[in-house]
Each structure stands twice: as structure tokens, then as C-alpha cells.
Amino acid sequence: MLQKGRFSLCGFTLIELLVVIAILGILSTIGIGSFLSSQMKSRDARRKTDLKNIAIVLETYYNDKNSYPTASSGKIVGCGAAGTEPCSWGQEWAGNGALYMAVLPDDSSAYNYTYVSDGVSYALYARLENTGDPKAAKVGDVPGGYTGIICEGTTTRCNYVVASSNATLPGIVADGSEDPEE
């Protein structure tokens, strides 16, 4: 140790500082990755819960009307004074004197929920961010989506569904592949 006057010159070497900075960088990367992964899984859990809650209300609607509400452009038809207008996601689901949901859940991300129904059966679709989720649609081990069911923009297929027991679901194709001609 060098002495200069009454003060000693001590400190860290450049190598020691670089090692500490590298360790902090690695720990930060791991922490941020875990945090982002848990946020993604949390949003997916919310999507699953939203669709289950809507499905419960759809069954109540069926008990009241002996049919499920029809669909228009991926939305539930059953709002407005006569109950014949499409309901907007994130708004009240009420029509024809009945309130079914104070707020029809809405996906807060860039994705959309999609509703398909002919009145006899229904299917509610969402896009899970975690394509490795056991409930996400897959073609073998490859992440996939439902043919013709879009949850974002014009190309991102939905990969999660909650449906009535009598619903016939479309086929599943690998993400990035074209829908087969029908």
C-alpha cells in the first residue's frame, strides 16, 4: 500500500470493478427477464378469467332466451334498447331491459377478444402471449392459432378458446403459416 502524507491510497483495481459490473449486469438481466415473464403470465391469466366470466354470463343469457347471442364482427350482439346492437368490449352489456355485465371485459393489450356464435353454440377466443402455455393452441409442439380467427391486426390468430360444449371449433395451423383455402 502506498502512503502519501497522512492519507493512504487504496481502492479497487480495474479488473475488480469490471467483474462487479459484469455480475450486476447478469443479475439485472435475470431479474428483468423474470419480471417480464411474470407480467406476461399475469396478463394471460386475466384473459382466461375474462373469457370464463363471459362464458358464465352467456349461459345465463341462454337460460333467459333459449339461445346464445349471435355475433357481429367478433362482438356479442345484445346491446342497445332493443338488444340488437353489437356490444363493445370494455362497455356495459345491457339490452332489452336486462343487464348482463356492468363491464364486458376487454383485453388491455393490442390483442382483441373475438366472439363467434350462431345462437346455438358459441366460442370466445383470445391470444395468449405465452405460446408455451399448456392451454394455448399448438400444432404438435409448434405454437399455432385457430384458422380464420384473428385477435390482432389482420394476421395474428387467436390461440385460446372457451366454447359451449356443442361448439365445433376451426382447425389449428402453425403460427406464421397461411390459412388453408376453404
Contact 142, 174 (CB under 8 A): yes
Q: Tell me the C-alpha distance between 35 and 136, whole Å.
A: 21
Amino acid at 39: Q
- Which of 54-63, 106-115, 126-135, 149-158 shows the highest mean pLDDT? 54-63
Q: Quick one: cell of 111?
A: 390483442
Whole-prediction pTM: 0.80
Q: Tell me the C-alpha distance between 78 and 53, whole Å.
A: 17
Mean of the per-residue pLDDT values of the chain = 87
Q: Tell me the C-alpha distance between 77 and 56, whole Å.
A: 16
How many residues does this entry show for the chain? 182
For 86-99, letters b (16+ CB in 10 Å) and e give: bbebeeebbbeeee
Q: Quick one: cell of 85?
A: 346492437
pLDDT of residue 14: 87
Q: Quick one: cell of 108?
A: 388491455
- pLDDT digits 0-9 by tens, 147-182: 888 887 778 889 999 999 999 888 888 877 666 554
- pLDDT digits 0-9 by tens, 138-152: 888 788 889 888 887
Average of per-residue pLDDT across 54-78: 94
- DSSP class of residue 42 equals H
pLDDT of residue 182: 43
